[in-house]
């Protein structure tokens, strides 16, 4: 014990230095990514391309390990995303057909106008034509075409919005289900910033892509293809400039599509790291102030932002190269088409009407193709975000439910070992057997493994070795709903969800009547303050509504436990945030309800241990002592020392 205490003291004495010593760490950004100072224009250009190459290598290296990371959450591969989106669209096949047809008719109507104007030019140039009569007829025809185009465009936009919103709703539900099924151990190993970024920024990016980019991509593709067809029908000769320059643009688009995914995935990862550092600083603000770590935390945030800026610059360079080629592909066809038209007209191959229609088509081709390229960029962002979201669904399930059901209520743990990191066990071969109705208190110093043992007994984690069984069935092989009917865990961590008081309590048993909700609140001494609220059980809680004190929030969590009514309860310092007098009274008022149930209570307050049938003293991941209060006092060991310190 003294050796452990000396070690803890030495670690605590040196802990500020583990934050402050940064000189031995490599810089966040290597010097090769910094622009040269005092270099010539040629040298700066060469250095620019060298930095772009280094950023490409960093992005590709990140993507290579992102699919199967050692820690944290993975990302899905592109084929998984395409299969996922394909499934969403297949389930809305009729709507997809409607979107395609409506946009095709809109494009056809719009493409008819340049051809009609070209015919008008030819008729005006011809001799013996009544120009007024021809013009009147064409104006009426153009009017009909434009009205038809407006109607079809409305139908296309409406059906596209309906498709996008439907796909988005199903995709969000899928992501929420994936998040909720994540094993808690994997969630705890992943950084908070990563998970928060995925369910906020990445969901937003996916939302924009689904609602706008997918419909726009369909519209742009159809319009571009039909415009090329109309140009070829008008004059294949005048279509050649567009086709040639379009082919050159496609080469750059393919290069962009090949390199952009790694860039956008890296950007998303840097945003996660920024959020992680910010969250850690905010949550540990008291520690930061106590140890004077403000400069260190500011430097860490600055490093994260600088890394993110490099990732952003890589994506920005890719977009600049893409849009530079696109601008060239858009501008040159106008000049080349006009020159070829003039030459063809001089040779008698083309009419003025064909040249007019071709120039109008070239102008009309610009807008949808520009939108299509911009949409492809937006889709790349959406696909990168979706790969991060679907990566959540690729995390293996934490449990494999079987069909066997418990034959009794006895809870037994054998040879329990658990490690948060490989080769670093925090529990070392614990054996523990509880009889139905027994109350066991687990005590010990902080960091001894009490909460980890409670999580294993509550079925939250599977042991690395050994087994935890209830009624002869492994806890991790029980379906989650069946498990919670057998064993429930209430920790010192709690959460108040956005909703009414009633909604927060009946989470434990949906549909429970108000009488049972009130009884549960009375049992935990919460009904007095709940009944005094302006709307009682209907009072809204959570973000933007009434904020509960930590003690009130913990009482709500305990009321959920009472309503769930399992036969085995694991209380992990469940009253830690309530003052000692209230906690003592609360535990006394719960005593009648807990009678006949197996109770495992993990607490620092030893009066809980005094009331227990047996007490397990956990030291360094092992049960050092096990017995009743009187037996352990008589043994004059670890528990006796703790009791004397508590009562002195």
CATH number of the structural domain spanning residue 383: 1.20.1560.10
Within 8 A by CB and 6+ apart from 147, the residues are none
pLDDT of residue 8: 46
Backbone angles phi, psi at 471, to 5 degrees: 60, 30
Residue 405 in domain: no
d(CA 561, CA 440): 18
Query: 334 with 243, same domain?
Result: yes
Q: Which of residues 141 and 628 earns the better pLDDT score?
A: 628
Query: Is residue 512 predicted with pLDDT exceeding 90?
Result: no
How far is residue 157's CA from residue 152's CA, in Å, rounded to a whole number?
Answer: 9
Cα separation values, 62 from 69, 178, 278, Å: 10, 24, 22
Model confidence at 218: pLDDT above 60: yes
Residue with tokens 């007490």, as numbered in its chain = 615
Least confident residue range of 167-181, 187-201, 298-312 = 187-201
**pTM metric for this prediction:** 0.66
Look-up of token digits 């030291």: 619
Question: Of the listed 216, 378, 486, 573, which one is catalytic?
Answer: 573
pLDDT of 113 higher than 80: no
Task: Supply the CATH number for residue 544's domain.
Answer: 3.40.50.300
**Euclidean distance between CA atoms 370 and 645, whole angstroms:** 76
Res 251 pLDDT > 90: no
pLDDT, greater one: 334 or 513:
513
- Least confident among 52-61, 470-479, 591-600: 591-600
Asked, for residue 605, whether it belongs to a domain, the answer is yes
Average pLDDT taken over every residue of the chain: 81
In angstroms, the CA 647 to CA 355 distance is 100
Asked, for residue 12, whether it belongs to a domain, the answer is no
Q: What is the mean pLDDT of residues 498-509?
A: 88
The pLDDT score that the predictor gives to residue 584 is 60
Both 483 and 382 in one domain: the answer is no
Distance separating the N- and C-terminal Cα atoms of the chain = 21
- Res 5: pLDDT: 45
Which range of residues forms the domain containing residue 189?
Answer: 77-394
For residues 578 and 646, the model is more confident at 646
Residue 216 and residue 263 share a domain: yes
For residue 6, what pLDDT band results from cuts at 50, 70 and 90?
Answer: very low
Catalytic annotation present for 573: yes
The CA distances from residue 102 to 87, 154, 220, 222, 426, in Å, are 22, 9, 13, 10, 63
More confident position, 312 or 420: 312
Contact 633, 643 (CB under 8 A): yes
pLDDT average, residue stretch 571-593: 61
Q: Are 377 and 322 in contact (CB under 8 A)?
A: yes
**373 and 431, same domain (yes or no):** no
**Is position 179 within any domain?**
yes
**At residue 535, does pLDDT exceed 70?**
yes
Read off the pLDDT of each residue in 350-355 and give the average, rounded to a whole number.
Answer: 83
Question: How much is the pLDDT for 503?
Answer: 92
Is the domain of 310 the same as that of 277?
yes
């Amino acid at each position: 014990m003294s050796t452990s205490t000396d070690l803890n003291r030495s670690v605590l004495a040196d802990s500020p230095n583990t934050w402050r010593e940064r000189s031995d760490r490599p810089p966040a950004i290597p010097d090769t990514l910094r622009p040269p100072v005092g270099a010539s224009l040629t040298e700066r250009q060469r250095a620019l391309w060298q930095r772009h190459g280094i950023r490409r290598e960093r992005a590709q290296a990140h993507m290579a390990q992102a699919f199967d990371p050692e820690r944290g959450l993975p990302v899905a591969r592109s084929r998984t995303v395409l299969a996922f989106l394909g499934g969403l669209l297949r389930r809305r096949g009729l709507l997809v057909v409607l979107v395609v047809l409506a946009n095709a008719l809109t494009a056809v109507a719009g493409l008819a106008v340049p051809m009609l104007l070209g015919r008008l030019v030819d008729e005006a140039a011809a001799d013996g034509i009544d120009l007024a009569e021809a013009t009147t007829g064409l104006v009426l025809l153009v009017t009909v075409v434009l009205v038809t185009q407006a109607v079809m465009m409305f139908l296309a936009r409406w059906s596209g919005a309906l498709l996008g919103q439907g796909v988005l709703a199903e995709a969000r539900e899928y992501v929420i289900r994936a998040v909720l099924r994540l094993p808690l151990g994997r969630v705890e190993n992943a950084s908070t910033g990563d998970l928060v970024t995925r369910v906020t920024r990445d969901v937003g990016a996916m939302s924009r892509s689904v609602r706008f980019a997918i419909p726009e991509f369909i519209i742009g593709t159809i319009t571009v293809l039909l415009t090329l067809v109309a140009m070829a029908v008008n004059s294949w000769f005048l279509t050649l400039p567009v086709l040639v320059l379009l082919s050159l643009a496609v080469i750059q688009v393919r290069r962009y599509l090949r390199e952009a995914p790694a860039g956008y995935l890296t950007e998303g990862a840097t945003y996660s790291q920024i959020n992680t550092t910010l969250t850690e600083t905010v949550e540990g603000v008291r520690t930061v102030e106590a140890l004077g770590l403000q400069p260190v935390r500011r430097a860490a945030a600055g490093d994260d932002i600088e890394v993110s800026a490099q990732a952003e610059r890589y994506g920005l360079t890719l977009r600049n190269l893409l849009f530079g080629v696109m601008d060239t592909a858009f501008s040159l066809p106008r000049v080349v088409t006009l020159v070829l038209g003039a030459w063809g007209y001089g040779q008698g191959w083309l009419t003025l009407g064909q040249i007019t229609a071709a120039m109008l088509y070239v102008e009309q081709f610009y807008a949808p193709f520009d939108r299509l390229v911009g949409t492809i960029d937006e889709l790349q962002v959406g696909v990168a975000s979706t790969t991060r979201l679907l990566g959540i669904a690729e995390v293996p399930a934490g449990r494999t439910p079987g069909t066997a059901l418990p034959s009794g209520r006895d809870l037994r743990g054998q040879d329990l070992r658990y490690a948060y990191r490989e080769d670093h066990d925090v529990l070392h071969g614990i054996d523990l057997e509880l009889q139905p109705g027994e109350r066991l208190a687990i005590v010990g110093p902080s960091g001894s493994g009490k909460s980890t043992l409670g999580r294993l007994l509550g079925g939250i984690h599977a042991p690395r070795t050994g087994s935890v069984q209830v009624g002869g069935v492994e806890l991790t092989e029980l379906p989650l709903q069946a498990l919670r009917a057998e064993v429930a865990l209430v920790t010192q961590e709690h959460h108040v969800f956005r909703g009414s008081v009633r909604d927060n309590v009946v989470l434990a048993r949906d549909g429970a009547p108000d009488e049972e909700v009130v009884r549960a609140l009375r049992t935990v001494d919460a009904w007095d303050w709940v009944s005094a609220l302006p709307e009682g059980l209907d009072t809204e809680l959570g973000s933007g509504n009434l904020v509960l004190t930590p003690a009130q929030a913990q009482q709500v969590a305990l009321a959920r436990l009472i309503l769930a009514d399992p036969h085995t309860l694991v209380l992990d310092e469940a009253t830690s945030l309530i003052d000692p007098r209230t906690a003592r009274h609360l535990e006394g008022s719960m005593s009648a309800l807990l009678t006949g149930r197996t109770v495992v209570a993990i607490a620092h307050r030893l009066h809980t241990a005094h009331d227990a049938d047996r007490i397990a003293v956990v030291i360094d991941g092992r049960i050092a002592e096990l017995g009743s209060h009187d037996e352990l006092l008589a043994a004059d060991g670890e528990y006796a020392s703790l009791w004397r310190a508590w009562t002195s």
